[in-house]
């Protein structure tokens, strides 16, 4: 265990489920549980300081603004960015769309001269990978449709690892954007970021990293990774729902046109035209998710207090039990690399397919045992298709996951083939 | 059958009838139809990607053929198999009543229906346990939705 | 007072500010305070039911989904819509952008045949009004830039009332969209919705209503108003930050292409292309603001329990004190209609300009007296320009505002000219 | 002057010097310059729309002219007026030190600075109360930001 009494910080973990069974929560890859400090930070804001930020001149507005911007600084610290390189977004999906739509808007003539560097059109290419979550695929498809650019993708092998043999052809002089995930939400594999970024830089393509599954589980430093943009979600990193963030290099953020237009993001508005503020404000039109930002800041501080190195070590311990245990069940296929579960390139995720049993049926048996997991395609239809599947059953961990939780999953999973009368 | 407390929800859900239908489903394999009125529908359960393509042929107000293909969980497969058993050869009005009863069963949160309706449902009463799991009701309904839609198509065909 | 002990429901109102003065919160037009039931609803969700909705098959996921969809039904009931006509959005700004960008995307070829009805281009017109909040102006400017359509606007008179003399020319056969506010956030004026909607219908233009300042204060029924779309924000109607909603006619929502792309909104995804779910899901890509939606639902129930008729009556009572009181202070100009403060066409907002004193200085004096108001242009630069001003000082009320609060504002405001040595 | 507790924050903020400068600001009205090095800057306070256009003329390392026009609250107007008084005619190095001290005063949360810095600041020490109100610091700094930027422009001009 990470910290013996860390689980006490998470009120929900005390719950019981079906017929009074203790809850084994292994769906953190979908959304994590929240420690009390996060809930308290939000509640305290509402009960003592709630006001519109950055606009008002009264005391509450000052206090709210200080808390809001302090939270931004905390999230920036967690990922090694500076404060004005963090833009709040509703979730990681919104953060990724902000980049894609901004490029689309620049290409449609919005944003003036400074936005010209982002223009793309027919003949240009956007590159993604076959392992992407829909959130880092569909926005790029739409951008391709909007601009006439071509969408390409880096394929994966049978283990779900990106195949870099043809990287030079996939990412070439025509490539304007390379968008890829840091960690797969299905195989748990950590991507070869350095090789991909180096190639993108060599051809002058922008890099957009999906940090949804890395930031909550590993030390992540955007400066060291040297990416241009990175998206993350609070609700997967012990923070509230309704908030995420986009990291972007300041000089890029200051030039990218917004895609949500409104108050608080603009400098001067006449009926005819509008000029925008600098980043991050230009991207934060409307009343911000203030309480949620403050909650995300509290989550970032909570993680930093544990220490991301220790979070990562805990992650590997759980990964070994989860993936190692699953690999030994006859008739169960583990997606992603098998046999090197304790190596440095997977996080504590185990997505499995049980021969002859549909994922919904697998999930039902686990649910009955009090084990909460995710069933379906996990917003990764292309990768499942690549594996010849339509879905899988996924267990995923977080700081509060115990070795016993992981073992409970393995044990309950082992009963599935017999229950449905299939035998390996 | 009482609404469980002794047996676990899992056993109440996966009753033997269901397991049997799932293993050897009836009506599987689309039948080529040469009838005055036939219709087809394709339904997808978007949470899991399961799909069913279902074809009906009408002979007046009688369902003379119901066949399907597709893949899915045992609940969706068994459900469409039972549907085939219940309505092929029946009159449309009867099928409608059966479908209403099945929908009611799904909404009953695991409680059995009255005897009249259970009679109508036959093997389909075995799905009573599904009603306790909102996420699975979609699975059980998938084939029935396809059936409903295919009949509408067939009637368009007719007119 | 509405209900004698209603103020006890709002923990923040017990706060003191500068030098221990009791807080007089008159900045509800910017953001309202939250009753305990809203905070409890969010907290209870996090502590007992937190899980990803609409995806998981485990018990928590079922419970979370039921609460989330129940909240949607509550918001729908509040505004007279049906449940599947309510789309969650980050705030009202995001809701308005959803419509504008959806039309932009349809015009760029996204969304296929069903989206064709939304296509606009050169020669087409979009009409707004001079009294719009930036949130209902800038997205339409951007849409005009993107598509080549022309932006027009209905002017206002010296009182801030829309001038409908030339309505037939402003809204004509070329007009594809008419977007306007239900209630002005500066003058508090209620717009002539019926006349505007009738004209839009006559020419086949879509109507988009900004309900930010109406839904929290008045009974609003979208069916009776007969508008196509309406945006609202939770944080202005006693709900949490980070959430708002778009009402849209179901058949329009089912045809409008999304503008935020990602998981949960899609039916089938291949590397090449994507098909979308029906509304509202097609617009809710990514992990939804679940706790916030539940909080917004609780706020809607809280308002319905009071009864929107009583909320409106209370609003008029406060409006009379606020606007009537202000109108009597020499050297103070009340924006909007003067002298009919108790008539049926204003809500409890009073934006004022003090001759010879800048709004920041006015706000400072009020803040010192414990009166929290908004200073600046309130995201309405064009309307202020129309009035020959760059900004104003705005007091705005809500259900918890007492007559004494309103009088405290009037009294503190009356001291301002003398403090700065200006005399009327 | 002590950091208030007797006097209200409001009185500490709007000291007589500030009121006087706001009423009759110095250096207002842009001066036409015919100097080897001159620069101009336009700054907007986006929260309220206040703006200042400020022009400097350099004569070697001396600020030979500083003039401005614009509108805003009493704090921003008084602050740029005091700025004019303090730095016109001074050497750039001295002006830099004054600006640093003023910025420090703004960050001091209402606490007075040490005597050396107060000497540098002269009338500008009256702005000590502003530091307690984060939202107003922008107002007080507006003219100083314009000054800083105008000097940069002037130096570009020079080279
Ligand atoms: C009339 C009006 N429209 C739109 C908005 C924008 O709402 P939000 O900031 O919640 O997006 C506001 C409030 O700021 C408003 O008063
Ligand atoms: C890898 C990855 N990318 C993107 C997302 C989308 O994040 P969100 O749902 O918070 O927008 C997720 C989670 O669903 C994810 O796992």
Distances from the Cα of B122 to the Cα of A12, B87, C219, angstroms:
42, 11, 50
Chain A residues with CB under 8 Å of a chain B CB are 18-19, 357-361, 364-365, 368, 375-377, 381, 384, 390-391, 419-421
Cα–Cα distance measured from residue C213 to residue C231, given in angstroms and rounded to the nearest whole number: 10
Ordered alpha helix ranges (H), A307-402: 308-327, 359-368, 381-386
pLDDT digits (tens, 9 = 90+) for A384-408: 999 999 999 999 999 999 999 999 9
Atom of ligand 1 nearest to the CA of C233: 10
End-to-end CA distance of chain D: 45
Of C101, C287, C291, the CB nearest to A259: C101
**Torsion of the alpha carbons at C322, C323, C329 and C331, rounded to the nearest 10:** 130
Cβ neighbours of B75 in A, within 8 Å: 360-361
Question: Minimal CA–CA distance to D48: which of C418, C132, C353?
Answer: C353
Same-domain pairing of C49 and C165: yes
**3 state DSSP class of B97:** helix
Whether the pLDDT of residue A123 is over 80: the answer is yes
Same-domain pairing of C260 and C362: no
| pLDDT band per the 50, 70, 90 thresholds, residue B6 | very low
Query: Are β-strands A229-233 and A206-210 bridged in parallel, bridged antiparallel, or unpaired?
Result: parallel
Whether the pLDDT of residue B108 is over 80: the answer is yes
| pLDDT band per the 50, 70, 90 thresholds, residue B3 | very low
Any idea which of C320-329, D1-10, D131-140 has the lowest mean pLDDT? D1-10
Question: What pLDDT sits at residue D6?
Answer: 41
Site from D11, D50, D79 to mutate, C interface, most C CB atoms within 10 angstroms: D50
Contact across the interface for C390 and D49, Cβ inside 8 Å:
yes
Cα–Cα distance measured from residue C106 to residue C100, given in angstroms and rounded to the nearest whole number: 10
Site from B17, B135, B137 to mutate, A interface, most A CB atoms within 10 angstroms: B135
Give the mean pLDDT of chain A.
95
Which residue's CA is the closest to the ligand 2 atom numbered 7? A92
Answer whether residue C347 is part of any domain.
yes
Contact across the interface for D46 and A267, Cβ inside 8 Å:
yes
Gap from CA of A93 to ligand 2 centroid (Å): 6
Q: What pTM, to 2 d.p., does this model score? A: 0.95
Answer whether residue A424 is part of any domain.
no
Q: Which of C196, C379, C412, C416 is catalytic?
A: C379
Contact across the interface for C57 and B44, Cβ inside 8 Å:
no
pLDDT digits (tens, 9 = 90+) for C106-150: 999 999 899 999 999 999 999 999 999 999 999 999 999 999 999
Number of structural domains chain C divides into: 2
Question: What pLDDT sits at residue B4?
Answer: 37
> In the beta sheet, which residues pair with residue A151?
A126
- Rg of chain A over Cα atoms, rounded to whole angstroms, equals 22
Answer whether residue A35 is part of any domain.
no
Q: What is the DSSP annotation of C266-335?
A: EEEE-SS-EEE--TTGGG--SS--HHHHHHHHHHHHHHHHH-HHHHHHHHHHHHHHHHHHHHTSTTEEES
Contact across the interface for D135 and A62, Cβ inside 8 Å:
yes
Domains observed in chain B: 26-158 (3.90.1010.10)
Domain range for C178 is 42-304
Site from A53, A56, A62 to mutate, D interface, most D CB atoms within 10 angstroms: A62
| pLDDT band per the 50, 70, 90 thresholds, residue D50 | confident
Cα–Cα distance measured from residue A319 to residue C353, given in angstroms and rounded to the nearest whole number: 64
Residue A45, preceding peptide bond in cis (omega within 30° of 0): no
Answer whether residue A37 is part of any domain.
no
Question: What pLDDT sits at residue C130?
Answer: 98
Same-domain pairing of C74 and C104: yes
**3 state DSSP class of C411:** helix
pLDDT digits (tens, 9 = 90+) for C162-174: 999 999 999 999 9
Gap from CA of A135 to ligand 2 centroid (Å): 6
> In the beta sheet, which residues pair with residue A352?
A334, A393
Same-domain pairing of A329 and A414: yes
> Does ligand 2 come within 6 angstroms of the Cβ of A352?
no
Same-domain pairing of C77 and C224: yes
Answer whether residue A334 is part of any domain.
yes
Cα–Cα distance measured from residue C60 to residue C52, given in angstroms and rounded to the nearest whole number: 8
CATH of the domain at A258: 3.40.640.10
Q: What is the DSSP annotation of C383-394?
A: HHHHTT-S-EEE
> Does ligand 1 come within 6 angstroms of the Cβ of C133?
yes
> Does ligand 1 come within 6 angstroms of the Cβ of A287?
yes
Any idea which of A12-26, A124-138, C47-61 has the lowest mean pLDDT? C47-61
> In the beta sheet, which residues pair with residue D71?
D51
Question: What pLDDT sits at residue D35?
Answer: 78
Which residue's CA is the closest to the ligand 1 atom numbered 14? C30
Write down which chains contact chain A via at least 3 CB pairs under 8 A. Answer: B, C, D
Answer whether residue C398 is part of any domain.
yes
Judge whether A212 counts as a catalytic residue: no
Q: Which residue of C lies nearest to D134 if distances are taken between CA atoms?
A: C364
Of C19, C376, C421, the CB nearest to D8: C19
Same-domain pairing of C49 and C182: yes
Whether the pLDDT of residue D3 is over 50: the answer is no
Phi, psi of A177 (to 5 degrees): -140, 135
Of C364, C365, C391, the CB nearest to D48: C391
Percent of chain B with pLDDT over 90: 77
B residues 1..60 contacting C (CB < 8 A)? 44, 46-47, 49
Question: What pLDDT sits at residue D159?
Answer: 65
Question: What pLDDT sits at residue C391?
Answer: 93
Alpha carbon A261 to chain centroid, angstroms? 24
Chains B & C: contacts with CB separation below 8 Å: 19
Contacts of C152 (CB under 8 A, 6+ apart): C125, C126, C127, C128, C170, C175
Count Cα atoms within 13 angstroms, Cβ side, for A102: 26
Angle, alpha carbons C28-C379-C39 (nearest 5°):
35
Of C284, C304, C324, the residue at which a domain comes to its end is C304
Give C400→chain A minimum CA distance, Å: 15
Percent of chain C with pLDDT over 70: 98
Gap from CA of A286 to ligand 1 centroid (Å): 6
pLDDT digits (tens, 9 = 90+) for C245-298: 999 999 999 999 999 999 988 888 888 888 888 999 999 999 999 999 999 999
Whether the pLDDT of residue A229 is over 90: the answer is yes
Maximal C-alpha separation, chain D: 53
**Which of A287, A290, A292 maximizes ligand 1 atoms within 8 Å of its Cβ, making it the mutation to test the pocket?**
A287
Contact across the interface for A421 and B47, Cβ inside 8 Å:
no
Cα–Cα distance measured from residue C142 to residue C105, given in angstroms and rounded to the nearest whole number: 12
Across C42-174, the runs of DSSP E, i.e. the strands, are 86-89, 125-129, 150-154
Give D14→chain A minimum CA distance, Å: 16
Ordered alpha helix ranges (H), A345-388: 359-368, 381-386
> Does ligand 2 come within 6 angstroms of the Cβ of A28?
no
Of A304, A323, A354, the residue at which a domain comes to its end is A304
> Does ligand 1 come within 6 angstroms of the Cβ of C107?
no
Sort residue D142 into left (φ over 0), alpha (ψ -120 to 50) or beta.
alpha
Cα–Cα distance measured from residue C153 to residue C168, given in angstroms and rounded to the nearest whole number: 12
Same-domain pairing of A134 and A178: yes
Same-domain pairing of A297 and A312: no
Whether the pLDDT of residue D46 is over 80: the answer is no
CATH of the domain at A368: 3.90.1150.10
Same-domain pairing of A91 and A165: yes
Q: Which residue of B lies nearest to A359 if distances are taken between CA atoms?
A: B73
Of A304, A321, A348, the residue at which a domain comes to its end is A304
> Does ligand 2 come within 6 angstroms of the Cβ of C263?
yes
* DSSP letter assigned to residue A182: S
Site from B16, B24, B50, B134 to mutate, A interface, most A CB atoms within 10 angstroms: B50
pLDDT digits (tens, 9 = 90+) for D61-110: 999 999 999 989 999 999 999 999 999 999 999 999 999 999 999 999 99
Cβ neighbours of A419 in B, within 8 Å: 10, 14
Maximal C-alpha separation, chain C: 71
Contact across the interface for C290 and A242, Cβ inside 8 Å:
yes
Contact across the interface for B74 and A358, Cβ inside 8 Å:
yes
> What's the whole-number mean pLDDT along residues C391-408?
97
Highest mean pLDDT among A35-44, A256-265, D131-140: A35-44
At CB < 8 A and 24+ separation, what contacts does C321-325 make?
Answer: C321/C403, C321/C406, C321/C407, C321/C410, C322/C348, C322/C349, C322/C350, C322/C395, C322/C397, C322/C406, C322/C409, C322/C410, C323/C188, C323/C350, C325/C406, C325/C407, C325/C409, C325/C410
> Does ligand 1 come within 6 angstroms of the Cβ of C187?
no
Packing angle of the helix pair C59-79, C290-306 (nearest 10 deg): 40
End-to-end CA distance of chain B: 45
Same-domain pairing of C111 and C49: yes
Same-domain pairing of A246 and A109: yes
Give B157→chain C minimum CA distance, Å: 24
> Does ligand 2 come within 6 angstroms of the Cβ of A377?
no
Query: Are β-strands C175-181 and C125-129 bridged in parallel, bridged antiparallel, or unpaired?
Result: parallel
Gap from CA of A295 to ligand 2 centroid (Å): 18
pLDDT digits (tens, 9 = 90+) for B31-62: 998 877 899 999 988 777 789 999 999 999 99
Whether the pLDDT of residue A124 is over 90: the answer is yes
pLDDT digits (tens, 9 = 90+) for B125-147: 999 999 999 889 999 999 999 99
Which residue's CA is the closest to the ligand 2 atom numbered 13? A30
Question: What pLDDT sits at residue D7?
Answer: 54
Contacts of C313 (CB under 8 A, 6+ apart): none
Same-domain pairing of A173 and A288: yes
- Rg of chain C over Cα atoms, rounded to whole angstroms, equals 22
pLDDT digits (tens, 9 = 90+) for A169-211: 999 999 999 999 999 999 999 999 999 999 999 999 999 999 9
Question: Minimal CA–CA distance to C200: which of C232, C225, C177?
Answer: C177
Give the mean pLDDT of chain C.
95
pLDDT digits (tens, 9 = 90+) for C345-378: 999 999 999 999 999 999 999 999 999 999 999 9
CB count, 10 Å around CB of A253? 24
Give D62→chain A minimum CA distance, Å: 33
End-to-end CA distance of chain A: 34
Question: What pLDDT sits at residue C341?
Answer: 55
Q: Which residue of D lies nearest to C361 if distances are taken between CA atoms?
A: D73
> Does ligand 2 come within 6 angstroms of the Cβ of A131?
no
Answer whether residue A350 is part of any domain.
yes
> Does ligand 1 come within 6 angstroms of the Cβ of C210?
yes
More confident residue, B149 or A267: B149
Atom of ligand 2 nearest to the CA of A93: 11
Cα–Cα distance measured from residue D142 to residue D47, given in angstroms and rounded to the nearest whole number: 12
Contact across the interface for D72 and C420, Cβ inside 8 Å:
no
A residues 171..230 contacting C (CB < 8 A)? none
Packing angle of the helix pair B16-23, B74-87 (nearest 10 deg): 90
Answer whether residue C36 is part of any domain.
no
Phi, psi of D2 (to 5 degrees): -100, 160
Ordered alpha helix ranges (H), chain B: 9-13, 16-23, 74-87, 92-106, 115-121, 134-158
Angle, alpha carbons C338-C342-C344 (nearest 5°):
105
| ipTM of model | 0.94
> What's the whole-number mean pLDDT along residues D33-51?
85
Contact across the interface for C361 and D10, Cβ inside 8 Å:
no
- Rg of chain D over Cα atoms, rounded to whole angstroms, equals 15
């Amino acid at each position: 265990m990470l910290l013996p009494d860390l689980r006490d910080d998470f009120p929900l973990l005390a719950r019981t489920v079906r017929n009074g069974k203790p809850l084994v929560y292994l769906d953190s890859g979908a959304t994590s549980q929240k420690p009390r400090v996060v809930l308290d930070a939000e509640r305290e804001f509402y009960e003592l300081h709630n006001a519109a930020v950055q606009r008002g001149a009264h005391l509450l507005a000052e206090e709210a603004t200080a808390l809001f911007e302090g939270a931004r600084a905390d999230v920036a610290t967690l990922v090694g960015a500076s404060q004005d390189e963090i833009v709040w977004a509703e979730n990681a999906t919104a953060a990724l769309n902000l980049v894609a739509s901004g490029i689309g808007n620049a290409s449609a003539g919005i944003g003036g001269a400074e936005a010209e560097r982002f223009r793309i059109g027919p003949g240009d290419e956007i590159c993604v990978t076959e392992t992407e979550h829909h959130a880092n695929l569909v926005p790029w498809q739409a951008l391709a449709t909007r601009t006439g650019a071509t969408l390409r993708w880096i394929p994966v092998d049978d283990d779900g690892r990106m195949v870099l043999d043809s990287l030079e052809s996939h990412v070439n002089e025509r490539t304007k954007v390379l968008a890829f995930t840091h960690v797969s939400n299905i195989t748990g594999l950590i991507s070869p970021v350095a090789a991909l970024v180096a190639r993108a830089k060599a051809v002058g393509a922008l890099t957009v990293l999906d940090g949804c599954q890395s930031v909550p589980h590993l030390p992540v430093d955007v400066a060291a990774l040297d990416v241009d943009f990175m998206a993350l979600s609070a609700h997967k990193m012990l923070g509230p729902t309704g908030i995420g963030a986009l990291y972007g290099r300041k000089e890029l953020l200051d030039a990218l046109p917004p895609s949500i237009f409104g108050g608080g993001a603009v400098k001067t508005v006449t009926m005819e035209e509008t000029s925008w503020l600098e980043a991050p404000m230009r991207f934060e039109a409307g009343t911000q998710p203030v309480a949620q930002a403050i909650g995300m800041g509290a989550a970032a501080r909570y993680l930093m207090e544990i220490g991301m190195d220790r979070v990562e070590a805990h992650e590997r311990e759980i990964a070994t039990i989860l993936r190692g245990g699953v690999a030994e069940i006859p008739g169960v296929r583990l997606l992603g690399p098998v046999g090197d579960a304790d190596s440095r390139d997977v996080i504590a995720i185990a997505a499995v397919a049980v021969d002859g049993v549909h994922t919904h049926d697998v999930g039902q048996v686990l649910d009955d045992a009090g084990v909460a997991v995710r069933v379906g395609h996990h917003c990764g239809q292309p990768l499942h298709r690549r594996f010849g599947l339509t879905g899988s059953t996924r267990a995923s961990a977080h700081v509060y996951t115990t070795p016993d939780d992981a073992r409970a999953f393995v044990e309950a999973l082992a009963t599935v083939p017999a229950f449905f009368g299939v035998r390996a | 059958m009482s609404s469980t407390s002794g047996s676990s929800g899992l056993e109440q859900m996966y009753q033997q009838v269901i397991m049997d239908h799932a293993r050897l489903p009836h009506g599987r394999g689309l039948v080529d139809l040469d009838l005055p009125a036939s219709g087809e529908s394709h339904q997808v359960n978007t949470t899991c990607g399961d799909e069913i393509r279902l074809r009906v042929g009408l002979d007046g107000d009688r369902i003379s053929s119901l066949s399907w293909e597709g893949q899915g969980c045992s609940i969706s497969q068994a459900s469409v198999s039972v549907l085939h058993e219940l309505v092929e050869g029946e009159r449309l009005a009867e099928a409608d009543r059966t479908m209403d009863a099945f929908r009611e069963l799904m909404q009953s949160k695991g409680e059995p229906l009255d005897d009249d309706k259970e009679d109508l449902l036959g093997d389909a009463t075995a799905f009573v346990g599904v009603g306790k799991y909102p996420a699975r009701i979609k699975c059980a309904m998938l084939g029935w939705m396809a059936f409903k839609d295919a009949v509408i198509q067939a009637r368009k065909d007719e007119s």
